Structure 1
Amino acid sequence: MNVVLLWHMHQPDYVDRQTGKARTPWVRLHAVHSYLDMIEMVERFPTLKVAFNFTPVLLEQLVEIGAGEVIDDCEAWSRIRAENLGQGEKEKILEHFFRANFDTLIRPLPRFWDLLNQRGRMVDFQNLAEVTNLFSAQDYRDLQTLYNLAWCGFAAYQAYPLLRELRAQGRDFTEDQKSQLLDLHREIVRTVLSRYRAAIERGQVEITTSPYCHPILPLLLDTNLARRSMPHVNLPPQFCAPEDVRSHLVLAQKRMREVFGAPARGLWPSEGSVAPELIPFFREAGFDYFFTDEAILFRSLELDPRWRGRGVDHMVLFQGWTVSWGGTTVDALFRERPLSDFVGFRASQNPPDQAANFLLHHFENICQVASSEEAAVLIALDGENAWEAFPDGGERFLSSLYQGLTTHSRLRTSRPGDYFDAYRPKVELGALHTGSWINADFDIWIGDPEENRAWEWLGRTRQFLRRIGEDRSLPAEKTAAAMRSLYAAEGSDWFWWYGPDFSTDSDLLFDEIFRTHLRNVYLALGFSPPPYLDFPICAPTVPTPYAIPRLYIHPQLTGRLDNFFDWVGAGTVDALVQQTAMFQPNRLGQKLYFGFDEEHFYLRIDFVGAPEEIEVEFLSPQIRRVTASVLPNGSWKVRTEHSEDAVLFSVADERGAAAWEDFFVLMVPVAALGWKEKDPVSFFVRLLREKLVLERYPERGTIDFRFPSRDFEARQWFV
């Protein structure tokens, strides 16, 4: 069976085209981390075949940064001598330089971790100016260095001794050392794409692409198409720009020729978003095949009269398809969702060899049932953000997976083009569902008030450009610059962070970048931007991932809400508010409640489905692990373990209790956890099934509070 691996590399256009500065560092930092690591892993396995999907706007920024034409704000702040930092620059450094995975990128560097605690786990914007005074010039210099050091991946550490030397030194860095590190970043950005080109020439790698600035093409074609999968959604005034759909695809192929010397044969439509009307656009731009999610396939089969009512087996997924519309055909592969999501969200929470074997075992099962050389399974997912969650950047997991794939007797990795050249599709779709890879609809990008306002302002700007385009006297370079900024604003990422679906402390920055792109359309043409573009679309609040307890609680351990007041005053975590740039569907946890009385700690988790095993990991004040496991008779066993090193655990207490009916509830004696008055408590929760971690709450970092003194309720008293 053919295993097609498609790693999607994608960043939006962060560059303010009026100033030439990138507002975020993510292109540079992912280059020294994921982009370098991923091609390094391919080079270690010469028989491996994979595909990388690069968005054209990412390629463009890599080239610009590598050539020194663009600098991001974080690099600019990093290069300022620590003694010369102004007040505003200090505040920006303290705001931005801890935006990294706490557990895998910050905590392993003790000095970096201390500096984070010195600032506080969350940004206190109201008191940030005062917090800057807590840091010395050496503190700022160490922070400038450690932030850029932490993002270097395993491939960079292997290739550059400087990184190993800086990590061993750990603190008290010099200005020269900091500059050398930043220069090394530039060198990696400048050279990393050449390694992908070499892998193409060796026949190991195929590069596919996405529309130029990664827009949601069906919505760009016509926002009213959203009603096909979301019939009751509130939509903005109609946005309709088929000419922009064509331009994003044509410009994508232009960038592919410039960077890799040939157009791409394969297309990952942004976020797997498709509609039948796009098929002729794909073919016209020179694409032979495209990729999207399995849900699109099965929804499409329900629409196609030739397949409707035939009792389609899930195994139809594992093959190439031909999709036709309006007399035009394009081939397609549909990704296997559960295994792709396992790599993106769950593999990092499990031992790497075990996670790789889990995938290989499932590949073997599919291969056995499919029983054909023409069978193919497509694993497609984000190729950059997932690796931050792995303690080693994913090195051990990828190595085990690639080793298993390249030595297996019945599995072979295949580039998409090689697969379609060898096996022409034998099945055809005459209908195509309109939706994305996320829930087969467009809810992430349209329908909420913030999202709709962004579409409305984008539509106003597009209409202005159409009117101005009729003026033949405008210089062509001005019109081209205006269109370039419009295409950037059409990218999907700005809409991703609008609305309630996703939230981080970068929401306002992404809002500002979106409005900057729209303003630059007017500025490029010599006009003053509309005043409304100066006002944020996002509600100007900093998201809080959890609320801490404010009252003692005394819930019943039944798993039922016996009394409404049982959980009043508890701390809460909304598990549905996602903190990352990757979407995790079908989440089991909905909401967490946590709290305590004088002698017990309580935890409640509202689930979709039945839990099997819950782990609560306490990192402070003592290292403790509480595990609740369901027994065959439906009762629960709770044990509390202690450890000195968070590696080897031994049972310390078994007096806890748990139950599940309408929700899961857990009680653990405070004495078993080793807490004293005013101790700082840090913990997170994991859900397991068959010893594999399924979900973590919160997704990143820990939940932190202080175990109170006896006067807790008196101090929290309110009317």
Structure 2
Amino acid sequence: MPDRQKLKVVLCWHMHQPEYRDAQGEFKLPWTYLHTIKDYVDMAAHLEAHPKARAVINFAPILLEQIEAYAEQIEGWLQQGSPILDPLLAALAGPVLPQNPEQRRLLAEACLKANQPHMVDPHPVFAHLVSTVRWMTEYNRGLDYVSDQFLADLLVWYHLVWMGESVCRSDARIERLVAQATHFTIQDRRELLELVGEILGGVLARYKSLARQGRVELSMTPYGHPIMPLLLDLRSAQEAMPDVELPEGIGHYPGGRERVQWHIEHGLNVFERVFGIRPIGCWPSEGSVSASTLEVLDQAGLKWAASGETVLANSLKKTGENLTDEKNWLYRPYRLDGTGVSCFFRDDTLSDSIGFKYSNWHGDDAAANFVSNLETIANRTDHDDRVVSVILDGENAWEYYPANGYFFLSRLYELLSDHPQIELTTFGSIIADGVAAKPLSHLVAGSWVYGTFSTWIGDKDKNRGWEMLADAKKAFDRVVKSGRLQGRALDHARHQLAICEGSDWCWWFGDYNPSTSVNDFDHLYRLHLSNLYLSLHEKPPEYLGHAFSFGGGEPATGGTMRRGQA
């Protein structure tokens, strides 16, 4: 089969975390560095191990800055003893463990946050430590009585189980510590910290090298991961959800277009500083698009964007097109009339199979099934230059797989690299190859999650989050207009506003999410908003001192991922 007739397949892995640092630079949650040493490093290793593989790796710039900050802090601690501003990582590094009972309790409970079947149970010593902490917590037996050695062993094991499989298979330090199992010394902990620092300090350079070799395309999400269509016009939520209840008293988010442009331009600048290249493509935060969003991306010089299958289906139905079950309509790029941005739309079935289905399969069987589904698409679609877009979270799925998805991903890249019917490629390469984008006369605003914005707006808690944000933005605009803030102070306030505009806060608000995560993100959101007011030299509203979303649900994967279709 000639190459031009091969089924083009794009694997796009999206990497992002919100801003976890407070105004003093302390990381309130550890997920940036934990996902880096586990998931970001493993994905780089898989691509390095398969020279013929191709993929799109998408980064949120606010994540890039946090990875850099961690690497700098660890280097500073190792070289000069300067502080590490993450309580969990600082405890691993510090020769003297906290003695305050509350700090010891929080430290021990933080080390429980790992997938039980795949990260705890395979390691009997760690499993015993975890069960001991849970027993003490449940029966209120006083974690302040546990020894420093217990805490040291718990900390070391927690970081061992969060290590990427590629690291575990290649680094002798991990092998030695796992074999030692107990009674870890200060030197053991320092050695582990050095490895963590090496990973954090080198992972972005590895992706940069892969991009220079043409083996990956690096793309970005606007700086703070905002839902751009809602910033541009909250009423865009009504396009896919006509009966949605919008936040009270807002109408339009104040100055939304200016804020979207800031997120794009600042994101481009951060991305270019880190990787030395300016991306041509954008995964809009959560695949959220609207006609206005594509216009702004076009004005910024971006050449492609991507979203969800249901967004395309809703848009084509609006034009009266008959959608077939074979999904011929899905497997091609589109271009909205009046813009120059090529749009790609994810195959929900294939993408969600990786996120929710294959984790309990044998890796070889899962990869074979995935490739078989692609072969079926190749055989049944009837147009040239077919493109299948597989787009999903690149970090949260793998803890539900054995060995962090190592066997599945290794076999998947192997099968796809030399397949006679399939060409692994990137969105940028598809555009460069001249694949024609089909005209699209109308775009129904939505995201990859259900084709709507229901994950971020419409629920009373989510709407309350928007109302708080709008209040803060009005205060920002008032202070800026007064001229009281200038120079660095104004830049700092503008940056703090961008943090508050991120999508992750409203993602978690609502009673269907787990209470622990909702409490974390409710607290962090109110902290960020309070810091915004303080940066404006304004008094934070009283309501920011009180939790407003409490959760209580038990969604799949703990709520970190969603399926494309309800």
Q: TM-score range by the shorter chain?
A: over 0.9
Letter in 2 for 1:52: I
| CA displacement at 1:474 relative to structure 2 | 2.1
Cα distance change on mapping 1:316 and 1:443 into 2, 3 Å: same
How high is the sequence identity, in percent, across the aligned residues?
32
Contact conserved, 2:348 with 2:565, CA < 8 A, in 1?
no
Q: Which residue of 2 is the match for residue 243 of structure 1?
A: 258
Alignment equivalent of 1:353, drawn from 364, 367, 391: 364
Match of residue 262, structure 1, among 266, 272, 277: 277
Instruction: Give the one of 179, 182, 205 matched to 2:216.
Output: 205
What CA distance in whole angstroms lies between the structure 2 residues aligned with 1:314 and 1:333? Answer: 14
The change in CA–CA distance for 1:544 and 1:329 in structure 2 (over 3 A counts) is: closer
Equivalent pair of 1:3/1:379 in contact (CA under 8 Å): yes
1:80 CA drift (Å)? 3.8
1:442 maps to what in 2? 453
Counterpart of 1:255, as a letter, is: V
Evaluate the alpha carbon distance shift between residue 45 and residue 387 of structure 1 in structure 2; reply closer, same or farther with a 3 A threshold: same
Give the secondary structure class of the aligned counterpart of 2:444. coil
Matched letter for residue 108 of structure 2: L
> What residue in structure 2 maps to residue 24 of structure 1?
29
Q: Secondary structure at the match of 1:443?
A: coil
Match of 2:561 among 572, 575, 582: 582
> Greater CA deviation, 92-101 or 154-163?
154-163
SS of equivalent to 1:393: helix
Which residue of 88, 92, 109 corresponds with 2:123?
109
Contact kept, 8 Å, 1:478 with 1:524, in 2: the verdict is yes
Aligned pair partner of 2:160 in 149, 155, 167: 149
The residue number in structure 2 matching 1:619 is none
- Contact 1:500–1:577 at 8 Å: present in 2 too? no
Q: Is the 8 Å Cα contact of residues 393 and 561 (structure 2) preserved in structure 1?
A: yes
Task: Report the Cα offset of residue 62 of structure 1.
Answer: 0.9
Q: Which amino acid aligns with 1:282?
A: L
Given that residues 56 and 256 in structure 1 are in contact (C-alpha distance below 8 angstroms), is that contact kept between their aligned partners in structure 2?
A: yes
Shift of 1:585: 5.1
- AA matched with 2:395: E
The counterpart of 2:294, out of the listed 279, 302, 320, is 279
1:4 aligns with 2:15: no
| Residues 328-367 of structure 1 mapped to structure 2, 5 A cutoff | 328-367=339-378
- Give the structure with the larger helix fraction: 2
Equivalences, count: 547
Answer whether contact 2:336 2:442 (CA < 8 A) is retained: yes
Return the TM-score normalized by structure 1.
Answer: 0.73
**Paired amino acid for 1:315:** N
C-alpha contact 1:445 1:496 (8 A) present in aligned 2: yes
Where do residues 48-67 of structure 1 align in structure 2 (5 Å cutoff)? Answer: 48-67=53-72
Query: 1:113 is aligned with what amino acid?
Result: A
In 1: Cα distance, 2:478 partner to 2:30 partner: 36
Would you say 1:193 and 2:208 are equivalent positions? Answer: no
Residue ranges of structure 1 left out of the alignment (5+ in a row): 546-575, 588-719
Q: Which amino acid aligns with 2:452?
A: D
Give the match for residue 80 of structure 2.
none
Contact 2:109/2:133, CA 8 A, preserved across alignment = no
Residues 258-657 of structure 1 aligned to structure 2 (within 5 Å): 258-304=273-319, 307-308=320-321, 314-324=327-337, 327-370=338-381, 373-539=384-550, 543=552, 545=554, 579-584=558-563
1:140 maps to which residue? 151
Q: For 1:27, what is the secondary structure of its paired residue?
A: helix
Q: Counterpart amino acid of 2:343?
A: A
**Which portions of structure 1, spanning 4 or more consecutive aligned residues, are displaced by more than 6 angstroms?**
none
CA contact (8 A) 2:334 2:440 kept: yes
Equivalent in the alignment of 2:107? 93
- 2:563 maps to amino acid: Q
Tell me the SS of whatever aligns to 1:381: strand
In 1, the alpha carbon distance for the partners of 2:128 and 2:95 equals 21
Distance in 1, matches of 2:322 and 2:562, equals 31
CA contact 1:269–1:290 (8 Å) conserved in 2: yes
Seen in structure 2, the aligned counterparts of structure 1 residues 162 and 577 have a Cα distance that, compared at 3 Å, is closer
Q: 1:367 is matched by which residue type in structure 2?
A: A
Query: 1:316 & 1:13 partners in 2: Cα distance?
Result: 38
The answer on whether the counterparts of 2:12 and 2:392 sit within 8 Å (CA) in structure 1 is yes
Distance 1:530 1:59, change over 3 A: same
Against the structure 1 CA distance between its residues 263 and 179, is the aligned structure 2 distance closer, same or farther, given a 3 Å change threshold?
A: same
**Which structure is higher in RCO with an 8 Å CA cutoff and minimum separation 6?**
2
Structure 2 vs 1, CA of residues 123 and 320 (structure 1 numbering), >3 Å: closer, same or farther?
farther
Bigger-Rg structure (1/2): 1
Relative to structure 1, is the Cα distance of residues 357 and 512 closer, same or farther in structure 2, using a 3 angstrom cutoff? same
What one-letter code is carried by the residue in structure 2 that aligns with 1:101?
N
Structure 1 or 2: more strand by fraction: 1
Inter-partner Cα distance in structure 2 for 1:207 and 1:387: 21
Shift of 1:39: 0.6
Shift in Å, 1:231 = 2.0
Cα distance in 2, alignment partners of residues 188 and 73 from structure 1: 19
Equivalent of 2:90 in 41, 57, 76: 76
> Retained in 1: the 8 A contact 2:317–2:323?
no
The 2-side partners of 1:224 and 1:381 are apart by 27
Deviation at 1:85, TM superposition (A): 2.7
Are 1:13 and 1:61, in contact at CA under 8 Å, matched by a contact in 2?
yes
CA RMSD, 1 decimal: 2.0
The one-character-per-residue Cα deviations of 1:288-338 (angstroms, maximum 9, x if unpaired) are 01011111111101122xx535879621211121122xx333111111110
SS where residue 378 of structure 1 aligns? Answer: strand
Is contact 1:331-1:425 (8 Å) kept? no
Cα 1:519–1:354 change in 2 (3 A) is: same
Q: In 1, distance between residues paired with 2:499 and 2:436?
A: 36
Query: Per-residue CA shift, 1:453-501, capped at 9, x if unaligned?
Result: 1111110000001111112242221111111111111111111110123
- C-alpha separation between the residues in 2 aligned to 1:308 and 1:66? 51
Are the structure 2 counterparts of residues 424 and 113 from structure 1 closer, same or farther at C-alpha, using a change threshold of 3 Å? same
Distance 1:310 1:144 in 2: 53
